[in-house]
Amino acid sequence: MQKKGIDLTVLNQLIGEYKDNKGALIPLLQKAQEHYGYLPELVMSEVAKALNMSSADVYGVATFYKQFRFNPMGKYVIKVCHGTACHVAGVNILDTMFDQVLKIKAGETTEDGLFTILSVACLGCCSLAPVIMINDETYGHLNTDKLVKIIDSYRAKEGK
C-alpha cells in the first residue's frame, strides 16, 4: 500500500510481526529505519496508530535516541571515524573541512541530497587514521587536501 509516496507494505508486515510484543516501539522503529533509511512522519504516525499511542509520543521517544534519523540520507553517506586513534590523528580538522566544503555537520545532509555525514565510532582500521568511509569505500591517512579532492571526485561523478 502506497501513501504520500511511501510504500507501507514492509511497514505493515513489521507492525504485524511486532505489535503484540511488549516494548515493540523501539524495535519497530529500528526495523522501519533499516528499511526506509530514516523515519518519515507517515511511518511514525502509522506506528503510533498500530500501538495505540499518539504520534507526539512516538516522535518524543524517537527523538530521545540518537540512532534515529528524520530526514532521508544522501546518496553518499560519509562515516567519519571519531575513535581514539582518529581523534589523535586529527579528525577534528576534517570536521572543520566538511563544515567549509559541504556546509553540513554530522547528522546532516547537503541540500542537493548528495552527501550525509555521520559521526561514528572506530571503523576498525586505526592504522589508517584518520579514516572516513563513503558508502563502502574506505579512505585513510586523510588530510584536508586529500579530503577536498575526494569530495570533488564524487561531485564530478555526479556532474556537479
Q: Does 94 bind ligand FES (CB under 6 A)?
A: no
Residue nearest to ligand FES (CB): 83
Q: How many CA atoms lie within 13 A of 153 on its CB side?
A: 8
**Among residues 24 and 126, whose Cβ is nearest to ligand FES?**
126
CA–CA distance, 152 with 73 (Å, rounded to integer): 19
Please list every residue from 104 through 123 that binds ligand FES, using CB under 6 A.
122-123
Q: What is the largest CA-CA distance in the chain?
A: 53
Tell whether residue 147 is a contact of ligand FES (CB under 6 A).
no
Query: Binding of ligand FES at residue 78 (CB under 6 A)?
Result: no
Q: How many residues bind ligand FES (CB under 6 A)?
A: 12
Q: How many CA atoms lie within 13 A of 155 on its CB side?
A: 11
For ligand FES, the closer of residues 58 and 80 by Cβ is 80
Among 129, 133, 142, 151, binds ligand FES (CB under 6 A): 129
Which residue, 40 or 83, has its beta carbon nearer to ligand FES?
A: 83
| 8 A C-beta contact, residue 78 and residue 118 | yes
Cα–Cα distance measured from residue 157 to residue 153, given in angstroms and rounded to the nearest whole number: 6
Residue of the chain from 62, 78, 81, 132 that contacts ligand FES (CB under 6 A): 81
Candidates 38-46, 78-86, 93-101, 104-112 — which segment interacts with ligand FES by CB under 6 A? 78-86
Cis peptide before 130 (omega within 30 of 0): yes
Smallest distance from ligand FES to CB 119, Å: 11
**Long-range pairs of 12-21 with CB within 8 A, sequence gap ≥ 24:** 12/46, 15/46, 15/47, 15/50, 19/50, 19/51
Instruction: Using CB under 6 A, list all residues that contact ligand FES.
Output: 81, 83-86, 122-126, 129, 131
